[in-house]
């Protein structure tokens, strides 16, 4: 009886069974024997109950003599299914095929041997049906592919899995993203891509060694996987870059919350080989199909958002907007110009007073860098410091500022200190102590009048080295202020070391703290109490309104810094105050804090009934906006504001002058993570595609509804004023 084995790659040399069928039939066992002798195939058979009834000699030899005891065992317990890594079309289970009596075609199985090892076989076989049509069992052959299989699976794993963390690797992520976007396009689903990048990972690697860096990455991978859970897929792109793929996610509120949790969690301290390390995290977010419909497009959008998150302030997240694309190229140019400015000594220092709110006496001035660029105008240090931090420029910049601040402070009354900002990169670099000593000596400023403002981000890498540096500088008499307290690693441990003389409560807790239901007053009170207990002074930063001043004073802040007392001033202005013996700063500002508004001047769209108007956005808050450009719009009118990029906001006109209207939003906007506001949801490019606009990521401007105006030639209800403004 012919067995009809199919040929497979491994047993090419096998005599073709079909041919033998036609030839005079040799004895069955002889054929089997001959084939086996050639070292080609192994044979097996089952009965109608799928139990193993026969294993040929070679098969027994392969598995060990004990394998004879397998006779009578259900085949599915002898041959186990294996998962093929990375296979495009995974094989059906053996049980399924046996049950369906379907042909076994190159089925790969694992065969546990009696000695506890595993062999991998590739099976071929088919059901044997007798003349009466009854199923008699399976007859099949097998090839041992163990050596090849082990190698191939390793290669497959290597190309799919990041060896260090066990997460998906760059290649797998790329394939997944492309496949997901293609599939989702058909079903009009959305998908978010997050780029997660560790801040100052290199420092940990450099100071604690590579094994510590590896361990840190493993722990990061665990935390990240725990947070994302079933919601998406986490992978490592390489280095300290991770990626999260989140299917069916387009709610930017939810995404922001998730990003925030990632930042918070990854910023908690790590225990590495008995030592502690702290790193920061930045996250960039892009959402398909809004920000990109192709994998490359979406990835570059998320990258740009990440870059922007890192630039604004490390330890935050940022959503992609199309403005970022322009900003990215701009900041590269800015780096060159900054270098130029530093060379030419074109950066100046401004001084902002820190005032005792009980007496209105100034106790200290904080030195803040100012850069006026011929082309760009005034550029904020919040913008150029991160650029300088990208390379060693920050060291030169920081040391120049330090020297100049010391020189300037010598000219002030002896009771007044100067506070200088020190970037973490500058602080941890060898030679910082020398730079401080040098600046003090060159200026003659007593060390006790110099205060260094440092953020929590110095507590990364080797904490012992950082501790030692603090101790050395404190021995000289220099004081330390912990800047931006509350924004960083939310770890209070290092406060106990007693490095700091002062805590600066971050502006984000102060601004708006008088609004009803705000928990910030409680946070401020708690920080003040903590600082007092540890013998530190507190400063409330960013106080702008009288009610905020009252609140921080009542909660016990020792000093206040903010526009309420003074904006940063030039050295000449400072000296003029002292010469006029006018060192008292009187608070002046609005009585109450107003809900944060961003003053803007941007052309947007406004839809009323079936007409589309151009208007100018003058300011924007979470709850409303002010627009100009239309005349005669009565209070109570329902309109839709088109903020561009698919952001539509249902609004009501709540107050109006002749050509300016205040709008109240039906649904509040959400923070975009970098100081602006955005809508939670956007209209999908899929719905636009349905309306005949080609599928593409949402573009800039009042797109896409501006197109709509051409189609709607109805008579407008309101008078469109000429929008003539600079920059439009
Ligand atoms: P910072 O150290 O938190 O400095 C306080 C910032 O808050 C300053 O911004 C100051 O002008 C601003 N500010 C003070 N009071 C108010 C207020 O009432 N309302 C508002 N809205 N803002 C207020 P500035 O000068 O733009 O500096 C931004 C950041 O740049 C600084 O934040 C600091 O981190 C960095 N920076 C400035 N100068 C230096 C420097 O010499 N070295 C380093 N490493 N960083 C610097
Ligand atoms: Ca500061
Ligand atoms: Ca600050």
Closest CA to 577 of 370, 397, 353, 319: 353
Ligand 2 centre and the CA of 454: distance in Å? 7
Ligand nearest to the CA of residue 349, numbered in listed order: 1
Q: Both 351 and 463 in a single domain?
A: yes
Whether the model clears a pTM of 0.85, i.e. scores above it, the answer is no
693 and 628 in a common domain: yes
In DSSP terms, which residues pair with 111 in a beta bridge? 119
Residue 587 forms part of a structural domain: no
Q: Which ligand is nearest to the CA of 352?
A: 1
CB atoms within 10 A of CB 275: 13
Tell me how far apart the alpha carbons of residues 230 and 266 are, in angstroms, rounded to a whole number.
18
CB-ligand 1 contact for 215 (6 Å cutoff): no
Same domain, 80 and 28: yes
Top mutation candidate among 315, 350, 381 for ligand 1, by most atoms within 8 Å of CB: 381
pLDDT at 153: 74
CA 380 / ligand 1 centre spacing (Å) = 9
Domain harbouring 233, CATH code? 3.30.70.270
Residue 445 lies in a domain: yes
Residues 72 and 36 in one domain: yes
User: Domain residues for 214?
Assistant: 164-321
DSSP one-letter string for 635-686:
TT-EEEEE-STT-EEEEEEEEE-SSEEEEEESS--EE-SSS-EE-S----HH
**Residue 55 lies inside a defined structural domain of this protein:** yes
Indicate if 215 and 251 belong to the same structural domain. yes
Query: Which of 300, 321, 342 marks a domain boundary?
Result: 321
C-beta 455 within 6 A of ligand 1: no
Identify the residue whose tokens are 């052959």.
141
Last residue of a domain, one of 153, 181, 200: 153
Asked whether residue 588 is domain-assigned, the answer is no
Pocket test for ligand 1, best of 368, 403, 450, 590 (most atoms within 8 A of CB): 368
Measure the CA dihedral 193/508/454/537, to 10°.
Answer: -150
Q: Is 562 in the pocket of ligand 1 (CB under 6 A)?
A: yes
CB atoms within 10 A of CB 141: 27
Binding site membership of 240 for ligand 1 (Cβ less than 6 Å)? no
385 within a domain of the structure (yes/no): yes
| Whether residues 566 and 659 fall in one domain | no
Nearest CA to ligand 1 atom 42: 421
> Is 436 found in the same domain as 528?
yes
Confidence (pLDDT) at 314: 52
pLDDT at position 634: 92
Question: What pLDDT does 568 receive?
Answer: 97
Q: What is the pLDDT of residues 281-338, one digit of tens each?
A: 999 999 999 999 999 999 999 998 998 888 766 558 899 987 777 766 677 788 889 9
- CA proximity to 276, closest of 438, 445, 466, 451: 466
**Is there a domain that residue 186 lies in?**
yes
Contact criterion met (CB below 8 Å) for 181 and 298:
yes
Residues 183 and 132 in one domain: no
**Predicted local distance difference test score (pLDDT) of residue 560:** 98
Structure tokens belonging to residue 106: 């190159």
Q: Which of 91, 123, 153 is the last residue of a domain?
A: 153
Closest atom of ligand 1 to 544 CA is 18
pLDDT along the chain (728 residues), means of 10: 35 38 52 62 88 87 83 92 58 84 89 84 90 90 85 74 90 91 88 93 85 94 95 92 94 93 90 88 93 92 88 75 72 84 94 97 97 87 86 92 98 97 90 96 98 86 82 96 76 76 91 75 88 93 95 96 97 94 88 70 83 87 92 91 87 91 92 79 78 70 54 73 55
Q: Residue 705 has what pLDDT?
A: 57
Whether residue 389 sits in one domain with residue 269: no
Let me know whether 107 and 239 are in one domain. no
Q: Does ligand 1 lie within 6 Å of residue 354's CB atom?
A: no
Ligand nearest to the CA of 422: 1
**Does 331 contact ligand 1 (Cβ within 6 A)?**
no
Q: Structural domain tally of the chain?
A: 4
| 556 Cβ below 6 A of ligand 1 | no
Please give the Cα distance from 300 to 647 (Å, whole number): 21
Spell 572-589 as b/e; 16+ CB within 10 A means b.
eebeebeeeeebebebeb
Predicted confidence (pLDDT) per residue in 450-499, tens digit: 999 998 878 766 678 888 999 999 999 999 999 988 766 545 667 777 88
Using DSSP, state whether 333 is helix, strand or coil.
helix
Domain of 565, CATH number, reads 3.20.20.450
Is 181 within the bounds of a domain?
yes
Question: What pLDDT shows up at residue 562?
Answer: 97
Gyration radius of the chain's alpha carbons: 35
**What local confidence, expressed as pLDDT, does residue 73 receive?**
92
The answer to whether position 727 is within a domain reads no
Predicted local confidence at residue 259, as pLDDT: 94
What integer pLDDT is reported at residue 626 of this predicted model? 93
Does residue 482 share a domain with residue 402? yes
DSSP 562-598: STTT---B-HHHHHHHHHTT--B----S-SSPPPP-E
pLDDT in the model for residue 5: 32
Q: What is the pLDDT of residue 713?
A: 59
Interval between CA 481 and ligand 3 midpoint (Å) = 10
Same domain, 381 and 482: yes
């Amino acid at each position: 009886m012919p067995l009809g084995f199919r040929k497979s790659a491994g047993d090419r040399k096998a005599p073709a069974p079909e041919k033998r069928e036609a030839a005079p039939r040799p004895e069955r066992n002889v054929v089997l024997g001959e084939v086996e002798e050639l070292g080609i195939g192994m044979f097996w058979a089952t009965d109608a109950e799928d139990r193993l009834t026969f294993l040929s000699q070679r098969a027994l030899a392969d598995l060990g003599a004990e394998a004879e005891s397998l006779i009578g065992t259900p085949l599915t317990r002898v041959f186990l299914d294996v998962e093929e890594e990375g296979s495009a079309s995974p094989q059906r289970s053996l049980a399924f095929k046996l049950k369906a009596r379907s042909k076994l075609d190159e089925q790969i199985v694992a065969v546990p041997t009696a000695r506890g090892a595993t062999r991998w076989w590739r099976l071929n076989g088919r059901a044997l049906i007798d003349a009466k049509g009854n199923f008699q069992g399976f007859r099949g052959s097998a090839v041992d592919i163990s050596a090849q299989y082990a190698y191939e699976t390793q290669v497959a794993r290597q190309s799919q899995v990041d060896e260090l963390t066990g997460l998906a690797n760059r290649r797998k992520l790329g394939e997944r993203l492309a496949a997901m976007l293609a599939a989702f396009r058909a079903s009009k689903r959305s998908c978010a891509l997050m780029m997660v990048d560790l801040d100052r990972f290199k420092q940990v690697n450099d100071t604690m060694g590579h094994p510590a860096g590896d361990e840190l990455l493993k722990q990061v991978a665990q935390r990240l996987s725990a947070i994302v859970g079933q919601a998406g897929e986490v992978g490592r792109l390489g280095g300290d870059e991770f990626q999260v793929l989140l299917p069916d996610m387009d709610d930017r509120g939810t995404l922001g919350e998730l990003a925030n949790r990632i930042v918070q969690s990854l910023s908690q301290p790590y225990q590495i080989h008995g030592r502690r390390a702290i790193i920061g995290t930045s996250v960039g977010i892009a959402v398909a199909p809004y920000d990109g419909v192709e994998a490359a497009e979406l990835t570059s959008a998320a990258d740009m958002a990440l870059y922007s998150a890192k630039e604004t302030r490390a330890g935050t997240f940022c959503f992609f907007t199309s403005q970022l694309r322009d900003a990215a190229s701009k900041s590269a140019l800015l780096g060159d110009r900054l270098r130029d400015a530093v060379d030419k000594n074109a950066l100046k220092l401004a001084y902002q007073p820190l005032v005792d709110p009980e007496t209105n006496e100034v106790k200290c001035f904080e030195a803040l860098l100012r850069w006026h660029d011929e082309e760009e105008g005034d550029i904020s240090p919040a913008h150029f410091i991160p650029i300088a931090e990208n390379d060693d420029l920050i060291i030169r910049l920081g040391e120049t500022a330090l020297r100049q601040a010391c020189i300037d402070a010598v000219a002030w009354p002896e009771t007044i200190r100067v506070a200088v900002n020190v970037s973490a990169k500058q602080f941890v670099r060898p030679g910082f102590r020398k730079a401080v000593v040098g600046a003090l000596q060159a200026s003659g400023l007593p060390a006790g009048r110099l205060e260094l403002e440092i953020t929590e981000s110095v507590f990364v890498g080797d904490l012992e080295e950082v501790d030692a540096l603090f101790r050395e500088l404190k021995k000289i008499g220099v004081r330390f202020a912990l800047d931006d307290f509350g924004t960083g690693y939310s770890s209070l441990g290092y406060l106990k070391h007693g490095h700091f003389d002062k805590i600066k409560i971050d502006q984000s807790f102060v601004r708006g703290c008088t609004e009803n239901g705000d928990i910030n007053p409680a946070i401020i009170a708690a920080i003040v109490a903590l600082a007092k207990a540890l013998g530190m002074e507190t400063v409330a930063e960013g106080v702008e309104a009288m009610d905020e001043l009252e609140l921080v004073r009542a909660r016990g802040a020792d000093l206040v810094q903010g526009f309420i007392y003074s904006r940063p001033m030039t050295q000449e202005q400072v000296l003029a105050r002292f010469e006029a013996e006018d060192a008292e700063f009187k608070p002046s500002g609005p009585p109450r804090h107003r809900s944060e508004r961003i003053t803007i001047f941007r052309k947007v769209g406004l839809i009323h009934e079936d007409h589309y108007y151009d208007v100018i956005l003058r300011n924007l808050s979470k709850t409303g906006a002010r627009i100009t450009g239309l005349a005669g719009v009565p209070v109570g009118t329902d309109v839709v504001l088109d903020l561009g990029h698919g952001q539509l906001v249902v609004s009501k006109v709540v107050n109006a002058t002749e050509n300016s209207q205040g709008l109240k939003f039906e649904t509040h906007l959400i923070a975009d993570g970098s100081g602006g506001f955005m809508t939670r949801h956007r209209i999908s490019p899929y719905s636009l595609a349905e309306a005949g606009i080609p599928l593409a990521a949402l573009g800039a401007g009042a797109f896409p509804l501006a197109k709509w105006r051409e189609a709607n030639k109805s008579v407008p209800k309101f008078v469109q004023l000429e929008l003539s403004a600079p920059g439009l």
